[in-house]
Amino acid sequence: MIRKTVKEVVKGLKVNPYYEICVGHFEQIYKERDMYEIISLAFKFGYLQGQKATKAANYKKAVNS
């Protein structure tokens, strides 16, 4: 089985700018010097952005119904 790298998987992904990570977020995450903590914080931030996007989509669906 051929697997794609994370970079390959997300390369063509289009993200609403409202849900993207900005330089300020990177700076806050980078201040943590432990690499595992950096990875954990980045994952959790992405997870929260996904929850925010889902909540917005559900709200939009409810309003349009």
Is the pLDDT higher at 48 or at 1? 48
Average pLDDT of the chain to the nearest whole number: 84
| Total residue length of the chain | 65
Residue 62 has what pLDDT? 92
Q: What percent of the chain clears pLDDT 70, i.e. is strictly above it?
A: 100
Residue 30 has what pLDDT? 82
Lowest mean pLDDT across 11-15, 43-47, 52-56? 11-15
